Structure 1
Amino acid sequence: MNNSMKILSILLAAAALLSCTPPAETAQELALRFNTPAAAWEETLPLGNGRIGMMPDGGIDKELIVLNDITMWSGSEDPEALNPEALNYLPKIRELLLTGKNGEAQRMMYDHFQCGGLGSSGGKSKDAPYGCFQMLGDLHINYSYPQTEDTGNYVRTLSLNDAVASTVFMKGETTFTREYISSHADDVLAVHVAADKKGSVSFEVSLSRPERATLSVQENTLIMEGQLNDGYGTDKGVRYLTKVQIVNKGGELTAGSNTLAIANADEAVILISTSTDMLDKEYTSTVDSLLEQAKKRSFEKMKQAHIAAYKEKFDRVELWLGEQDNTTPTNERLAGFQTDDDPAFAALYFQYGRYLMISGTDENSLPLNLQGLWANQVQTPWNGDYHLNINVQMNYWPVEVCNLSELHKPLIDFTQSIVPSGEATAQTFYGANGWLAHMMSNPWKFTAPGEHASWGATNTGGAWLCEHLWEHYAFTQDKEYLRTVYPTLAGAAQFFLSSMISEPRNGWLVTAPSSSPENAFYMPGSDDRIFVCMGPTMDVQIVNELFTNV
């Protein structure tokens, strides 16, 4: 049994035990724990409040913290995506499919039945209209120590109970402690650096970004600002602003041309405030006001407010599968899990999923994308977009059953927002009523087929999103909500009622053309890999459920 199936089996067996968990006052400690700094970005600890986030690597002398904002998207609306010639070829493509000539139909789709323009540029669209989810930037911290001794007792943790990360180690007789939060209460990022010996905290901070960033220091504030490419080289791309300030106790604060430095402090708090104009046209005022409000609180009060806001969601569910091992590093527990029984590790994995959901999105933000909220590149893999052929749906499968129902809202809002684009796509490509989305989308409401039929022909992406609209109603029984989303459900159903065709053998109504995502087959007498077909099983299941719900 592979590792994923092993975890799934344990969690399914544990479902009946959820009502038998210990009372809240005995909730066990849930934490990821490591004894070394992260050697790669994938080993860093993700923190987020649903809008902004960071991933610190816990470096001792030099620390890299990757910063993120879920609205850091290049690109813009792409009117060229609507390909007016596609509809002219639809009857012939269907005729070829009906006569078993899938290979010819596929070649015709490659030539004529795909999006106009560049589409997703093969998953590398940071400078094209389709756009790309991008990192915000890097925060660099260079530390200085009065001690020359080797480092000992190093531990790096992420508390799932509190959404607080920490790095603790000793140099000589001095213990250094860093705490990191992406505040759910104050909506800023904060790094608290302290030592148990006065005057021991010294470091220098700077910001960087691979491109499209202007750096400056004004009035002891480190500033990074810029504008992402809208795909057309105009001034309509997303604008962003990031400001960093340091609040120190003791010691001296100095500013360089692009740095802030603290020398010989007892402790210091690095505050990062950031926003873009995608969802907030007053983003510059927002950055300033959030920073000013955060400075009025001590770090301890900020941390406690953050924990209280986070725990309101996290503490709704407990899963007890035995005592947690809070001494063995997580990477060692994971290695041991391959061969040994550790049900408590499966419970930790389950709660880590809930943690990522709470940290990665909130009610008024964008949906989780392929990267969630976190990225360390300006060209993220596959543009960090919304893959509608399973990926974005997988992100949200846990949301209702894990008692995080309100976090369904970003996906529901996004689904309703793409309906006008989907209606234009239905008319342009199929001459059909209603609306649809194919296999990929973005905040710019892209709904056209992708640029390659092997994956881009899938036309049930929007219908699959509609399952989430219905599932939210099934769990909440909120009839007023149902009234608001029912037109979206009905519009998706209308598309298939007006676009499906009757296949000759059984007279069934089927989607055509379509594909089972990235699933190839062979036609008799041919070695060509074929993707394009009629009525793949996935479409049958999704459309049947859509019709049932409507």
Structure 2
Amino acid sequence: MKKNLLSVRNCAAVLALVVSLPAISQDNNLLLWYKKPATKWTEALPIGNGRLGGMVYGGVAEEHIQLNESTLWTGRPRNYNRQHAVQYLEPIRTLLRQGKQGEAEKLAAEQFMGMKSVDDSVYAQRKRTWLKQVSSQTQWSQPGVADKLWDSIRLPMLNGWEAMGLDGLDGAVWFRTSFELPAAWQGKELVLALGKIRDMDYTYVNGKMVAAGEGINTKRVYAIPAAALKPGKNVLAIQVINFYDKGGFAGVKSDERILAVYPKGATAESGIALSNVWKYKIQNATPPEFPQYQARYQPLGDVYFRFPVTGEVEEYKRDLDLATATAHVQYKAGGVQYKRSYFVSAPHRAMVARFTADKPGALNVEALLGTSHKAWQVKQVDARTLAFEIQVKDGALRGTSYMRVFAQKGSLAVKAGRLVVKGADAVTFYITAATNFKNYQDVSGNPAAICKTALQAIGEKDFTSVEAAHLKDYQSLFNAFSLSFGGGNRTDLSTDERIRQYSPAADPGLLSLYTQYGRYLLISSSRPGGQAANLQGIWNELLTPPWGSKYTTNINLQMNYWPADVLNLSGCTAPLFDLIAEAGEAGEQTAKEYYGAPGWVLHHNTDIWRGTAPINASNHGIWVTGAAWLCHHIWDHYQFTQDTAFLRKYYPLMKSAASFFNSFLVKDAATGKIISTPSNSPEHGGLVAGPTMDHQIIRDLYKACIAAAAVLKVDSDSSIRWQQQYDAIAPNIIGRYGQLQEWMKDVDDTSDTHRHVSHLWGVYPGTDITWQTPEQMKAARQSLLYRGDGGTGWSLAWKVNLWARFLEGDHALLILSNLLAPAEKEGKEQGGVYSNLMDAHPPFQIDGNFGGAAGLAEMLVQSQGEGIVLLPALPAALAEGQVSGIKARGGFVLQLVWQQQRLQKVVVTSLAGKTCKLIYKGKEKSFATKAGQEYVMEGW
């Protein structure tokens, strides 16, 4: 190996050093672009500054931007913990020890789950009263009801009526249609097939109730007595009652025919198809507040810009430029070239929309605000500003948005709650937003004052200066990293077409675009002072989003931050550590009430109010290692940054989490080892004693605490105890199929392809299993082979990282390519990416984007061991490439250049002056470094 070590310069500022690494040739591959406007949310383009987010549709006559503000949630500050739940801890443990899993889960469900927002017994009484009222109002079932003026809706509603324009609707809704009874069917009993309905229904034929059903998974197949029918037209009226979340006719997942009527004994295929378009009327939209374990992230509202369009629209294009964090729309109409630019400025805390035309006086635009929230209003602030206010249903939070316009020439007026500009040369809108949320215990904020302050800071600044501040801020983060691969980049194709035609051999550039898009999304959804990126980052259009769009802590929240340090976005991690600190406070009470233990605990979910108690169901909600996993991020961040001030600040949270496990772990009579019980292997196998994942994470916590205490020179006595605990925890076990056991008992099913691979945590993101223990590594690999290459979203992303840790780059790339498959095929959603490159679980979850980006980095550099391994899992399809700004543990920033799958050049920048050990194809080179110096090696 030829070696050429050279110190080239000292840099006073680490940030300047990182940003000013020698430029490498980067493909022109930082643009998502399209030939037509978005028609749905998963085609729109995301913009954001960590607090305010927008989805830009790019319509011509009407532009739609859906808005989010990161602190707008349902719920309120409250106690999530069930008092004295600890008295049931030992009975649950005893039942598990006796092999009575079902009884343990039943007891835990009754006595060990968290407290809901409304007591179940109180809700039951309110529900009975409300249900009695609405079910007794049956006048809309009668044949003679005049329903011509009712609205129409298309059935079935596979994603609920919320996706059909009725977002946020809970309550009672009447649906009506009719069918002609064939003469041959007269006197016969018929069968009515409706599919699934959420949640209840009362079904009437010609004003007579013939059936009723309940349950979201129950297919409605009803008998219609012959006596209820009449010759000719028969009116079908169905009262659908939905208490919470999705409502309406949910259809079926199979090809089974529904929305049909046919004679008893015949088949649905031989029957009459009911119309897909039914009339509907909302009867009552105020059911009692539904009990919730945790809160839901909420949309704020919508901005609409309306433009008169004359002439044929030509040369349309919309794009998102990752290099500038700016979305654009451009087109020609009536001989005029129109251009629009959209970005969200972090320095000015505002969304900016800029409209121009190449003909003076050609801009005419009308701007208005709307929302799916029921309680809202728009009012005029001054001659160029509107204020928009909403109140979250059944919650403590209010949201406010201000929209101000500046027009270059032309006229400006406020009319009927709209900003109207006519005959302008250029127009700029500034949109600010805030809520009354101050922290998880305080909702006394003044959102109007916050919005006003932001607009005052913008003042009369011209657009160019606001844009320049945005670019300087954003590019200080984004430009710290670059990536390119040799071979073709199909930038000539629109992004949606590029996704459809993708292969790693023909278009490796899509991989680099996808990786940079992950970085863009993290910058846009996680900034210091803001909230951590949730299940959808910062973007959500629904009042009842999937899984509440909250923080799932048995992988999803953590995966959001997997790429942060390695892809040189350490500055975006602050919101995560703020969340950890607040959950640490809240989790101390949970540890006391449920486990009689010191320290803090977090189960598998939390929200903006920092709920830490078990939620949902006892077979997967009682999982005790969420806090320990989050502490892994504290130690890992320190390893990348070598920031001892950071470690000193957050080390107490690590120590507190370890204190909890000192108390919680108990001795297993069968093995003599200490184990975690009760818990589960997320989200698989139910409530158990001693899941492998728990033990891996807890060992990792003890190991990190020992290392952190040594760095800080504190707690030597505690370190002795932690080492004893570490040694006493039940070890990883290899099972009868050569697999790594998921549980202490050898009960793994080799045909099981469950989406979670929890027991492989010790391979990635942990270091409990490494190539220093090859037998365990091979067993873990065997487990992953059994689980298969299938999956969607975050599950695939996890597998990418695991195969990279197994040093199998081609297999990792295969899985990563599956993440880039088109999410919509033949009208159905599947795993992959939507046309806007957002991850499809489905539905959208942002963790797949972040996990996939981290997986690509893991193929190029690994530093979890004793040194920095270069190109450890380089796929054959990526035989040429360059990366600059990728980070390694120990405080190093790297630039790599490779050709024909051989490393050509390495540039190492030392941030902390530690000894650097590089490993490539089994060869090692160690050298001392000085902070701020750069070292170049060529000729590997």
TM-score after normalising by structure 1: 0.89
TM superposition outliers: structure 1 runs of 4+ over 6 Å: 119-123
Determine whether 1:219 maps to 2:388: no
Equivalent position amino acid for 1:217 in 2: Q
Would the aligned equivalents of 1:119 and 1:130 in 2 still touch at CA under 8 Å?
Answer: no
Tell me the equivalent position of 1:545.
Answer: 700
Aligned to 1:117: 116
The alpha-carbon distance between structure 1 residues 127 and 142, as it changes in their structure 2 partners (threshold 3 A), is farther
Equivalent residue number for residue 67 of structure 1: 67
Secondary structure at 1:320 match in 2: strand
Q: 1:352 and 1:434, CA in 2 relative to 1: closer, same or farther beyond 3 A?
A: same
State yes or no: 1:417 paired with 2:579.
no
CA distance in 2, matches of 1:444, 1:339: 43
Q: Counterpart amino acid of 2:100?
A: K
What is aligned with 1:256? Answer: 415
1:416-437 superposed Cα distances (whole Å, 9 cap, x missing partner): 1122221111111111121100
State which drifts further: 96-105 or 341-350.
96-105
* Structure 1 residue aligned with 2:56: 56
How far 1:481 sits from its partner (Å)? 1.9
Matched, 1:465 2:464: no
* Whole-angstrom distance in 1 between the partners of 2:414 and 2:492: 41
| Higher helix residue share | 1
Residue 405 (structure 1) aligned with residue 555 (structure 2) = no
Alignment of 1:255-404 (within 5 A): 255-279=414-438, 281-322=445-486, 324-338=489-503, 341-404=506-569
2:650 matches 1:485 = yes
In 2, Cα distance between the equivalents of 1:63 and 1:100? 60
How big is the shift at 1:142?
1.4
Return closer, same or farther for 1:89/1:128 CA change in 2, 3 Å cut-off: closer
- Partners of 2:547 and 2:428 lie apart in 1 by 36
Alignment partner of 1:161: what SS? coil
Alignment RMSD, CA only?
2.4
Please state how far the C-alpha of 1:508 moved relative to its aligned partner: 1.7
Match of 1:428 in 2: 593
Q: CA deviation at 1:85?
A: 4.7
AA at the equivalent of 1:156: R
Look up the match of 1:170. 332
The 8 Å contact of residues 490 and 507 in structure 2, kept in 1 or not, is answered as: no
Structure 2 equivalent of residue 6 of structure 1: none
For 2:457 and 2:586, locate their aligned partners in 1 and report how far apart those are by CA, in whole Å. 40
Q: What secondary structure does 2:684 align onto?
A: coil
SS in structure 1 opposite 2:660?
helix
Kindly provide the CA deviation profile for residues 519-543 of structure 1, in whole angstroms up to 9, marking residues without a partner as x.
Answer: 13xxxxxxxxxx0101212111111
C-alpha distance in 1 between matches for 2:291 and 2:63: 30
Instruction: State the distance in 2 between where 1:84 and 1:126 align.
Output: 22
How big is each residue's C-alpha offset from its partner over 1:177-206, in whole Å with a ceiling of 9 and x where there is no partner?
A: 110010133221111111111121112111
How far the C-alpha of 1:25 sits from its partner, in A, is: 7.8
Q: Is the 8 A contact 1:29 1:161 kept in 2?
A: no
> Which deviations, in whole Å up to 9, do the C-alpha atoms of 1:396-448 show, x marking residues without a partner?
00010011112111111211112222111111111112110001111212000
- C-alpha displacement of 1:504: 2.4
Q: Which amino acid aligns with 1:58?
A: G
Q: Is the 8 A contact 1:190 1:269 kept in 2?
A: yes
For residue 71 of structure 2, give the secondary structure of its aligned residue in structure 1.
coil
Deviation, structure 1 residue 366: 0.9
| Counterpart selection for 1:245 from 401, 404, 409 | 404
Q: Please, which of 132, 137, 142 is the counterpart of residue 306 of structure 2? A: 142
Distance 1:354 1:339 in 2: 20
Instruction: Give, as a single letter, the amino acid of the residue that structure 1 aligns with 2:524.
Output: S
Q: Which residue of 1 aligns with 2:319?
A: 157
How many residues align? The count is 514
Tell me how far apart the structure 2 counterparts of residues 114 and 123 of structure 1 sit (CA, whole Å): 20
* SS of residue matched to 1:319: strand
In the alignment, is the contact (CA less than 8 A) between 1:412 and 1:469 conserved in 2?
yes
Q: Which moved more, 1:401-410 or 1:121-130?
A: 121-130
Distance of 1:200 and 1:532 partners within structure 2: 66
Does residue 95 of structure 1 match 2:94?
yes
Residues 459-504 of structure 1, C-alpha deviations (whole Å, 9 max, x = no match): 1111111111111111122222222211110110111110111222
Question: For the Cα contact (< 8 Å) 1:78–1:129, is it kept in 2?
Answer: no
Q: Distance in 1 between matches of 2:87 and 2:507?
A: 59
Contact 1:239 1:276 in 2 (8 A): yes
* C-alpha separation in 1, matches of 2:380 and 2:454: 18
- Measured against aligned partners, the alpha-carbon deviations of 1:294-323 in whole angstroms (never above 9, x if no partner) come to 242222222122111100000000101136
In structure 2, the CA distance between the partners of 1:159 and 1:123, relative to structure 1 (3 Å rule), is farther
Higher strand share: 2
> 1:39-84: per-residue Cα shift (whole Å, max 9, x none)?
11111110011111211100011111001111112212222x2212
Instruction: Tell me the distance in 2 between the aligned counterparts of 1:59 and 1:90.
Output: 57
Secondary structure of 1:144's match?
coil
Q: Distance between the aligned counterparts of 1:443 and 1:73, measured in 2?
A: 7
Match of 2:11 in 1: none
Higher mean displacement: 87-96 or 152-161: 87-96
- The structure having more radius of gyration, on CA atoms, is 2
Q: Secondary structure at the match of 2:484?
A: coil
**Residue deviations 1:220-242, cap 9 Å, x none?**
321111333464xxxxx223321
Seen in structure 2, the aligned counterparts of structure 1 residues 416 and 123 have a Cα distance that, compared at 3 Å, is: farther
- Write the distance in 2 (CA, Å) between the matches of 1:101 and 1:370: 35
Report the 3-state secondary structure (helix = DSSP H, G, I; strand = E; otherwise coil) of the residue aligned with 2:45.
coil
Cα offsets for 1:151-175 (capped at 9, x unmatched): 1111110000010110011113211
Q: Equivalents in 2 of 1:418, 1:202: separation in Å?
A: 49
* Cα distance in 1 between the residues matched to 2:654 and 2:504: 46
2 CA distance for matches of 1:37 and 1:111? 51
TM-score after normalising by structure 2: 0.53
* Structure 2: 5+ residue stretches without partners: 1-17, 121-242, 246-288, 439-443, 706-940
The CA deviation at 1:27 is: 6.5
**Structure 1 residue 287, shift from structure 2 partner:** 1.2
Q: How does 1:70-89 map to 2 (within 5 A)?
A: 70-79=70-79, 81-89=80-88
Alignment-mate amino acid for residue 630 of structure 2: L
Q: Which amino acid aligns with 1:142?
A: R
Distance 1:308 1:25 in 2: 21
Contact persistence 1:453–1:532 (CA under 8 A): yes
Which structure has the higher relative contact order (CA within 8 Å, separation 6+)? 1
Q: Secondary structure at the match of 1:482?
A: helix
Partners in 2 of 1:172 and 1:493 — Cα distance? Answer: 69
Describe the shift of the 1:169–1:389 C-alpha distance in structure 2 as closer, same or farther (beyond 3 A). Answer: same
Cα distance change, pair 289–92 in 1 and its aligned pair in 2 (3 A) = closer
Q: Is the 8 A contact 2:75 2:117 kept in 1?
A: no
Determine the C-alpha separation between the residues in 2 that align with 1:371 and 1:34: 23
Checking the alignment, whether the CA contact within 8 Å between 1:216 and 1:257 is kept in structure 2 is: no
- Which amino acid is the alignment partner of residue 218 of structure 1? V
Supply the distance in 1 between the matched residues of 2:22 and 2:344 (Cα, whole angstroms). Answer: 29
Report sequence identity in percent: 33
Q: What are structure 1's unaligned runs of at least 5 residues?
A: 1-17, 232-236, 521-530
Partner amino acid, structure 2, of 1:62:
E
The one of 126, 130, 136 aligned to 2:294: 130
Question: Secondary structure at the residue paired with 2:452?
Answer: helix
How far apart, CA to CA, are the structure 2 residues paired with 1:309 and 1:120? Answer: 47
Alpha-carbon distance, 1:341 to partner = 3.0
Contact 2:372 2:543 in 1 (8 A): yes
The answer on whether the counterparts of 2:114 and 2:293 sit within 8 Å (CA) in structure 1 is: no
CA distance in 2: counterparts of 1:86 and 1:36, whole angstroms: 56
Residues 126-135 or 409-418, more deviating:
126-135
Q: Which amino acid aligns with 2:317?
A: V
In structure 2, C-alpha distance between the alignment counterparts of 1:460 and 1:22, rounded to whole Å: 42
Q: Is the 8 A contact 1:128 1:230 kept in 2?
A: no
Secondary structure class of the residue paired with 2:482: coil
Query: Which deviations, in whole Å up to 9, do the C-alpha atoms of 1:79-102 show, x marking residues without a partner?
Result: 2x2212522221111111112221
d(CA) in 2 for partners of 1:126 and 1:368? 26
Q: 2:594 is matched by which residue type in structure 1?
A: F
Report if aligned partners of 2:386, 2:418 keep a CA contact under 8 Å in 1.
Answer: yes
